[in-house]
Chains A and B, each alone.
Chain A
Amino acid sequence: MNDPTVHIPVIVICTSLIGAFLAPVLGKYRPALVGLMARLIAPVNALLLVILLRYVDAGETFHYYMGGWAPPWGIALSVDYLAIYVALIIHLVSAVILLYAKDDLFGEVRGDLHRWYYTLFLLLVAAMTALAFSHDFFNIFVFTEIATIAACALIAIKPKKECIEASFKYLILSTVGSGFILLALALIYMVTGHFNLTLVAQNMGAAAEAYPLNIMVSLALLIVGFGVKSALFPLHVWLPDAHSSAPSPSSAVLSGLVVKIYAVVLIRIILTVFGGEVLAAAPIADMILIIASVAIIAGSLFALAQTDIKLLLAFSTVAQVGYIYMGISLLSETGTMGGLVHIFNHALMKTLLFLAAGAIIHQTGLRKISDLDGIAKRMPITMAVFSVGALSMVGIPGFNGFISKMYLATGAFDAGKPVFILVILMSSLLNGLYYLPIVVRAFLGTNAEEGKFAKDELPLSMTFPLVILGLACIYFGLLPGSLLELVRKAAHYLIAV
């Protein structure tokens, strides 16, 4: 008999899946219940994950064997700190987004399509969670496919030309990426004989000696494949259109969560499967480091040139994904922690910013940045939390973005590569250049309407998630202790192997 706690990863994945299976039927007869179900699943799962975290804290990390079949025959889930950390982020953030989606969806998606929206959203959450836990190459591929299809559909759900176009672009590029990943898996299976990550890692040394070209090619294919999906510069071309044209809750989940999950999977594979020998044979880490630096600077420069608020946020995501790659490829403890903690911090801030932008569009229909002068008079709460998100992005001390940047900078120093501190500083400057004017003009803009501050005309279901996210940004900026402890353990998992 097993302790029921060990089943939590499966239960968390499957409750989201069951919710997705139920939604289209339930929504046909009781539309109100579907949203309620979706809004219940995410927080309950987050709670279960906290219980799992306690359990792992008391004992140790373990592998869960599907059907009781130990590798190499069966599929294993790796219940480690990294997986729990990522899964927790997924469920906490999607709980907030789903709360927000309740009223926002009516402005953007046809009423009778809401049930399909929740289906796809829950499928995406389930697939991302499975990706966080999965310890099997083919399993990773299968859930990558689910996440890709669900993400594309979440963009195309808005009956607008640009959404369909953006989604199609995303679908094509993403599918090319999937093809690369599948090819890489085939090569890896041929030379190592396994799908299980641990077993592949054990056979990697011998395989790299006997078939060096195969290992290098598969590594390259994996980097490109997951690079496309996680919008690693210059493979980001699909991201701005896709993330800016989607309904705001979709933008939030795509920018806040989806791209990072692929980054985590890629990093986990590179560091724990390919490991030190292969990384020593080719300057993979340095190459990613340089690409990430270019991503950070280029993404910020592109964002600077945007006039549409959601496009600006989307380009900023390209830069922020660069931070995550950069932190981890520094290969120092603090650097890895910086990259991992930024996954959480950026999930909070970018979700907040996209939802705030969505709230502005919901209430006023304005998307152009130049139209937002004095908007704070009409929407003080929204703009206040938007400012919190913007200040976090810039990395002002006291907000959570500062913590990430501090660890990244320390990590660069520890790794003996202080030149990357310069990249971080420069990017902070650029972030300030494109985020702060929006905030300043919203509060002090000239064409502010006459009269006093009005109250936001938003329903509570939209302001509440915004305020929660804003408070979380400040809380984790001031008291990041418990978060950093979890991140430290997750980083150790990555570096220790």
Chain B
Amino acid sequence: MKLHRIGVAILIVILSVTLAGALAELPSVEQRTSTSQLTRRVIDGGLQDTGALNLVSAVLFDYRAFDTLGEATVIFAAVAGVVMLFYQAPLHPSSIGLSMLAKRSLDSIGPFVFLAGMYVVLYGHISPGGGFQGGVILATLTILISIVYGLETERRLLDPTFKTTLESSAALLFMVIAFGGILTGEYFLSNLSAGFPRGEAGSLLSAGSLAPLNAAIGLKVGAGLALIFYSMVKREPE
């Protein structure tokens, strides 16, 4: 046992030294010609290419939208795994939530949390934010409700079946928009070139398919994370 630990320690030291050496060798930012080329193109041409003011969203939902589909699918796979793992566990029946004070506070801030979430999702192509971030905010709202009002109330408001349906439909919406590119004779996930309207830069309805893709990811991530939380806490306490 002890020998084993010493061996592991030696391995970790070797690994760290090698990695540190590799990092020390790396070029500084000014020296990195090829990556700066890539960055320059996105900064200079991103708005022209995608119509989005938020260039991070332009990369996530246009240039590399296929990765985003993959990342959202990672969350989908995680949700499926968690739901399945905790499937057998029964619902905790007697959850009455916190005091009235907490409930009234949530009543007043809840709508604003929802608004903030929706804002971050829908303005993802204009200002910092986007589907992933906004979706997480929306999911926290369901978590707040389960803690403050109790899980039973949350379940009545948002049935797990409804969440699953919402998550799946959002994912399918993404697919429909993505296939729009093929139907117009362009490529999978084509945006402006497939005829999605460019709109006026900075307005809500601009940047072609970016906004609807953001909305789809927002709903999918929100519903998915809410489902993960629900599945994990519904366990009966020991």
Is A138 touching B67 in the complex (CB atoms < 8 A)?
yes
* Residue A85 is within 8 A (CB to CB) of chain B in the complex: no
Is A203 touching B34 in the complex (CB atoms < 8 A)?
yes
Tell me the smallest distance from the CB of B232 to a CB of chain A, in Å.
Answer: 14
1/0 contact trace for B145-164 toward A, CB 8 Å?
00000000000000001001
Give the one of A22, A156, A190 with max B CB within 10 A.
A190
How far apart sit A493 and B130, CA to CA, in the bound complex (Å)? 40
Is A14 touching B26 in the complex (CB atoms < 8 A)?
no
Say which residue of A2, A24, A142 sits within 8 Å of B74 (CB atoms): A142
* Residue B35 is within 8 A (CB to CB) of chain A in the complex: yes
Say which residue of A146, A194, A210, A213 sits within 8 Å of B70 (CB atoms): A146
Contact flag A73-B42 (CB < 8 Å), given A18-B172, A66-B65, A68-B186: yes
Say which residue of B32, B42, B66, B77 sits within 8 Å of A123 (CB atoms): B77
* Residue B217 is within 8 A (CB to CB) of chain A in the complex: no
How far apart sit A191 and B32, CA to CA, in the bound complex (Å)? 8
Residue ID in chain B nearest A195 by CB atoms = B64
1/0 contact trace for A179-213 toward B, CB 8 Å?
00001000101111110000000010000001101
Can you list 23 A-B pairs with a CB-CB distance of less than 8 A? A20-B73, A21-B172, A25-B168, A28-B161, A66-B66, A66-B188, A67-B65, A67-B188, A110-B88, A113-B84, A113-B87, A120-B81, A126-B73, A127-B73, A139-B66, A139-B67, A139-B70, A142-B70, A149-B78, A150-B81, A211-B26, A217-B21, A218-B22
Count of B interface residues, CB-CB < 8 Å:
57
Is B191 touching A67 in the complex (CB atoms < 8 A)?
yes
Query: Shortest 8 CB-CB distances between A and B: which pairs?
Result: A193-B34, A153-B81, A142-B70, A67-B189, A21-B171, A149-B77, A193-B35, A66-B66
Contact flag A116-B84 (CB < 8 Å), given A10-B188, A123-B76: yes
Interface residues of B in 191-220 (CB under 8 A from A): 191, 193-194
* Residue A145 is within 8 A (CB to CB) of chain B in the complex: yes
Is A14 touching B179 in the complex (CB atoms < 8 A)?
yes
* Residue B190 is within 8 A (CB to CB) of chain A in the complex: yes
Say which residue of B22, B41, B67, B178 sits within 8 Å of A14 (CB atoms): B178
Contact flag A152-B64 (CB < 8 Å), given A1-B185, A143-B70, A211-B27: no
Is A64 touching B84 in the complex (CB atoms < 8 A)?
no
* Residue B38 is within 8 A (CB to CB) of chain A in the complex: yes
Is B42 touching A28 in the complex (CB atoms < 8 A)?
no
CB neighbours (8 Å) of B37 from chain A are 72, 193
Residue ID in chain A nearest B187 by CB atoms = A68
1/0 contact trace for A109-120 toward B, CB 8 Å?
010110011011
CB neighbours (8 Å) of B193 from chain A are 68
* Residue B165 is within 8 A (CB to CB) of chain A in the complex: yes
Additional A-B contacts beyond A126-B73, A183-B19 (13; CB < 8 A): A17-B175, A18-B175, A20-B73, A21-B171, A22-B172, A25-B165, A66-B64, A116-B84, A146-B73, A153-B85, A156-B85, A190-B26, A210-B27
Is A20 touching B187 in the complex (CB atoms < 8 A)?
no
| B residues in contact (CB < 8 Å) with A | 18-19, 21-22, 25-27, 32-35, 37-38, 41-42, 62-67, 69-71, 73-74, 76-78, 80-81, 83-85, 87-88, 161, 164-165, 168-169, 171-172, 175, 178-179, 181-182, 185-191, 193-194
Say which residue of A17, A66, A213 sits within 8 Å of B25 (CB atoms): A213
Residue ID in chain A nearest B39 by CB atoms = A193
Is A190 touching B41 in the complex (CB atoms < 8 A)?
no
Is B185 touching A67 in the complex (CB atoms < 8 A)?
no
Residue ID in chain B nearest A220 by CB atoms = B18
Tell me the smallest distance from the CB of B20 to a CB of chain A, in Å.
Answer: 10
Residue ID in chain B nearest A119 by CB atoms = B80
Is B32 touching A25 in the complex (CB atoms < 8 A)?
no
Is B62 touching A67 in the complex (CB atoms < 8 A)?
yes
Is A68 touching B73 in the complex (CB atoms < 8 A)?
no
Give the one of A24, A113, A214 with max B CB within 10 A.
A24
Say which residue of A146, A191, A217 sits within 8 Å of B18 (CB atoms): A217
Say which residue of A18, A112, A138, A164 sits within 8 Å of B87 (CB atoms): A112
Residue ID in chain A nearest B165 by CB atoms = A25
CB neighbours (8 Å) of B87 from chain A are 110, 112-113, 116
Is A67 touching B175 in the complex (CB atoms < 8 A)?
no
Tell me the smallest distance from the CB of A126 to a CB of chain B, in Å.
Answer: 8
How far apart sit A138 and B66, CA to CA, in the bound complex (Å)? 10
Tell me the smallest distance from the CB of A55 to a CB of chain B, in Å.
Answer: 16
Residue ID in chain B nearest A120 by CB atoms = B80
Give the one of B27, B33, B63, B84 with max A CB within 10 A.
B84
How far apart sit A64 and B66, CA to CA, in the bound complex (Å)? 12
